[in-house]
Structure 1
Amino acid sequence: MVIMRLPRVAATALVLGLCVSGCTGGSKPAAKARPKVAMLVSSSQTNNAKEMGAGFLAGAQSAGGVDASVTGPPLNDPPKQAEMLKQLAGDAPGGIAIQASNPELISAQLAAAARDGVPLIAIDVKPAGTAGVKTYIGGDNSELGRMLADELVRRLPAGAAGKIVVGSVKPGLSVMDQRAAGVSGELARKLPGLRMMGPFDTGIDPVANLAAWRRLITANPDALAFVGTAGPDSVSLAALHAETKGTWLAGSFDLDPKGMQGAKDGQLFALVSPEHFLKGSIAGWLEAVHASNGKPIPEGWIYTPGLLVTSTNIDKIIERQASDANKLAWFKPQIDKMTADLSRYVRPLDQAS
């Protein structure tokens, strides 16, 4: 378990102040403890969770008045995440944002936390209907899939016909299913001569993912393109495209550093970023403002846009992704705009995709 926290300068100063007061016999009342808010990620080692966690801390720090932390199991482990949520509900009663490994398996624990009055926000993965979570922050994953498909159409010959192989790191998870469906649906609509195959299970583990894509590429040497749904796919596809000197096209989602390098080197035609840092920042800001001054958290789906990354902007995005400070500088105008009037970005929760 990895925990990231904001600096606790104020807390240190408070301890020193109490010591001085005690030594001199003063009777100054103790300062009120700062509310604690937290984010629980699906896996502390994945790039997307690190992005969201860093964004959460930045958003909470921007709002101020709270102590914020980010934690999660090292690997994608739904039972472990549910266990950690029980502990976190007591440790961070000011509010919890969660990127669920499995929204159905953790719904009972979320419902219990909601009954106990813990303010909850789901990020990246839509909460189960039984979870009692009224706020979700995320992109339109079907739209993100269409975004990638449209770029692929632009790269293929007019009227192209042939196989497109789609892989998914976690079939059955709504985020991945919607991205895959967005890709396949848009390609079928714009190029009806294409034959869509998949989505095939490529797995989250990097070694297994590479092996899965190697099998798919070997089994489909005549495919026009291979498309993934997440960061591990981008890394594997870039490596295999270089290794095989492939003439096929490849694209995926997320901004894994190796995937970005693959896009820069021309191994991937595009990546689509769900902009995880932005999602985390909005969640951290909302939880902190609510915990520190009681401002209500909007209910519904808070929509965040994605970004198409190609050869035209990859250098700027690599520079942006080089540090959390760079990300914050890039996103701050957008964060300020959204938090100034969140009602413009709130949609009904049942429309989230």
Structure 2
Amino acid sequence: MRTHHRMIALAVTGVVALGLTACAGGEADAGDDNVSITLVQGTTALPFAQTTAAGAKAAIAEVGGVHLEVAGPANIDPATEVKIFQQVVSTRPDGILLQELPPDLFTRPVQDAEDAGITVLPYTIAPASDSSSTIFVGDNGFDIGRMGADAVADALIAQHGSEDITGKIPTGICVPGLSVLTSRIDGFRERMAERLPGVEVLEPFDSKSDPAQNFTVWQQAVSANADAVAMMTPCEADVQNLIKIKQDSDATWQLAGFDINDISLQGLRDGVIVGLFPQSSYLHGYVSARLLAESLKNGTDLPKGWVAIEVIPVTAENVEEIAERESSPEAQAAYWKPYIDEIFAADTVATRPLADANK
């Protein structure tokens, strides 16, 4: 395995792009680890990213003999993430766990990394169709969107006492064109058309990734659509802002969320939102890190295809259980252990066709 350095300084055109954190596997000191892996995230600041990193660190500690670095821009910034990835490649780790935000920007950089002998494993966001990647660990955003639509449709039917509902659903997207977000919108729109054909899911507008701008944009959208029956967004900050807007205005439109955080959990407790349909971020980090670490350490091939990770809906019935799960890395590890045991029960992890992850 390649020799790696414990401290790596990465900067991007005068901007400090990341702070690298290190995690040595097992009891060994980082200098004794035989395998080096870097987790490159699309954002390091949001709760889901921190949960993903916690899962990856847990897997690395279990495998042992592996040194893990965590890198990425604090906030979503695709161009900066690409530069960070390329600089990580220049340090020559044995493997990289990569959240491609967005996938089309990483096709060439990933190929360059693999040509340099570095194993790249995409997680959370499925690679582009022209990518050289042959494995993906994550879920299907389209299916997540359909789950959100079912929850909103059920709430609307209960609210109006009928399936004969007409109206519109304004839709915002914080990073236009990002596949992990657009797939949720597409799934939501398709399922809503099946459940409530009289309800129109409007084309998404740019809700802005900056939280302050995002709040203003949504205030304007809500004001301009006073007759809306629901609001739709696949973005974490958007849902947080919409919870506040709905509470402050006593609005009656429906809303589902797709990420777990304290604000959204409280919004679910208070009945402001109808449910959360989050990615299982801890599993994304754990499963991808364990697969890559064991492959590199044992000299075995990674499985080919999509390692599908289950999505656990959060409802009024299980919100306290999920809140307890989210309270610490130890609670996460305990909650997810049965799922992890099932995934790794066989000699080879089960996969589905890679193309199915984008359907």
The answer to whether the superposition gives a TM-score over 0.5 is: yes
* 1:232 equivalent in alignment to 2:237: yes
Q: Is the 8 A contact 2:56 2:285 kept in 1?
A: yes
1:136 alignment partner, SS class: strand
Aligned to 1:284: 289
> Quick one: distance in 1 between partners of 2:337 and 2:319?
20
For these two proteins, the number of residue pairs brought into alignment is 336
Runs of 4+ in 1 over 6 A off after TM superposition: none
* 1:322 equivalent in alignment to 2:327: yes
Aligned to 1:293: 298
* 1:113 equivalent in alignment to 2:140: no
CA drift of 1:328 comes to 1.1
CA drift of 1:234 comes to 1.7
Aligned to 1:85: 85
CA drift of 1:243 comes to 0.8
> Quick one: distance in 1 between partners of 2:46 and 2:107?
22
* 1:352 equivalent in alignment to 2:357: yes
Q: Deviations over 1:276-325 (max 9, x none)?
A: 11111101101110121123211111111212112111111111111111
Alignment map for 1:1-353 (pairs within 5 Å): 1-7=18-24, 10-12=27-29, 33-91=33-91, 93-157=93-157, 158-159=162-163, 160-341=165-346, 345-353=350-358
1:346 alignment partner, SS class: coil
Comparing 72-81 and 275-284, the one that deviates more: 72-81
Structure 2 CA distance for partners of 1:343 and 1:7, relative to 1, 3 Å: closer
Letter in 1 for 2:184: R
> Quick one: distance in 1 between partners of 2:204 and 2:21?
35
CA drift of 1:80 comes to 2.2
Aligned to 2:6: none
CA drift of 1:45 comes to 1.1
Aligned to 1:28: none
Letter in 2 for 1:44: T
CA drift of 1:335 comes to 1.1
1:217 alignment partner, SS class: helix
1:226 alignment partner, SS class: coil
> Please, what TM-score do these two structures have when normalized by structure 1?
0.90
Letter in 2 for 1:127: P
CA drift of 1:247 comes to 1.3
Q: Deviations over 1:63-102 (max 9, x none)?
A: 2221112111122222322222223224352211101222
Letter in 1 for 2:42: S
Letter in 2 for 1:105: L
> Quick one: distance in 2 between partners of 1:228 and 1:9?
41
Q: Deviations over 1:220-261 (max 9, x none)?
A: 111111121021122011111111111111112111222222
Aligned to 2:15: none
Q: Is the 8 A contact 1:233 1:252 kept in 2?
A: no
1:114 alignment partner, SS class: helix
Unaligned runs of at least 5 residues, structure 1:
16-31
> Quick one: distance in 2 between partners of 1:7 and 1:97?
16
Aligned to 1:24: none
Q: Deviations over 1:145-181 (max 9, x none)?
A: 1111111121112222211222222221111111001
Letter in 2 for 1:148: G
Letter in 1 for 2:261: D
> Please, what TM-score do these two structures have when normalized by structure 2?
0.88
> Quick one: distance in 2 between partners of 1:126 and 1:232?
22
1:177 alignment partner, SS class: helix
Q: Deviations over 1:122-145 (max 9, x none)?
A: 111122244422111111111111
Structure 2 CA distance for partners of 1:135 and 1:190, relative to 1, 3 Å: same
Aligned to 1:25: none
Letter in 1 for 2:78: P
CA drift of 1:267 comes to 1.4
Higher percent of residues as strand:
1
> Quick one: distance in 2 between partners of 1:155 and 1:300?
36
